[in-house]
C-alpha cells in the first residue's frame, strides 16, 4: 500500500464497517483514516435515509430556494429515480401526502 509518510498504516487505523473502502479513500485522496471513515459513514447514512424523510427534507430545501410545488415534485421524482435504491414511482399526489400528511 502506498501512502504518504504522515498517514497511519496500522490496521487498527482502518477499523469500522468498511475498512477496505476507508483504505481506498486514504490511498486515492488527501483524507486521513478518520476523515475517510466519516465520509463513508455520511454516504451510508445519506443512502439509508427513508424515502419519506428524503422527500420531506428535499421539499423543505427546494422551498427555501423559492420553487413552487409543481416544480419541486418534478425535481424530487427525478432525484428519487437516481437514488441507489430506487423506490416505487410516486405521483405528485403521493409526494404531497408525504410532505403535508
| Structural domain includes residue 33 | yes
**Do both 23 and 35 map to the same domain?**
yes
Q: Which three cell numbers stand for residue 42?
A: 455520511
Task: Report the SS3 class of residue 43.
Answer: helix
Domain extent, residue 88, equals 51-100
Q: Are 55 and 96 found together in one domain? A: yes
Residue 26 corresponds to which cell in the numbers above? 486514504
pLDDT value of residue 1: 45
Cβ 59 vs Cβ 99: under 8 Å: yes
Q: For position 5, what pLDDT does the model report? A: 44
pLDDT at 11: 46
CB atoms within 10 A of CB 73: 23
14 burial level (CB within 10 Å; 0-12, 13-18, 19+): buried
From first to last of its 101 residues, what are the pLDDT tens digits of the chain?
444 445 445 545 555 678 999 999 999 999 999 999 999 999 988 888 999 999 999 999 999 999 999 999 999 999 999 887 788 899 999 999 999 98
Residue 5 within any structural domain of the chain? no
Q: Give the distance, in angstroms, between the CA of residue 37 and the centroid of all CA atoms in the same chain.
A: 14
Tally of structural domains, the chain: 2
Amino acid at each position: 500500500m502506498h501512502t504518504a509518510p504522515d498517514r497511519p498504516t496500522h490496521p487498527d487505523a482502518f477499523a469500522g464497517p468498511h475498512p477496505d473502502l476507508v483504505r481506498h479513500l486514504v490511498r486515492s485522496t488527501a483524507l486521513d483514516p478518520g476523515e475517510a471513515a466519516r465520509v463513508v459513514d455520511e454516504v451510508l447514512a445519506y443512502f439509508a435515509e427513508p424515502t419519506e424523510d428524503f422527500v420531506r427534507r428535499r421539499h423543505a430545501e427546494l422551498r427555501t430556494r423559492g420553487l413552487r410545488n409543481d416544480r419541486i415534485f418534478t425535481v424530487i421524482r427525478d432525484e428519487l429515480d437516481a437514488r441507489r435504491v430506487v423506490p416505487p414511482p410516486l405521483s405528485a399526489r403521493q409526494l404531497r401526502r408525504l410532505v403535508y400528511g
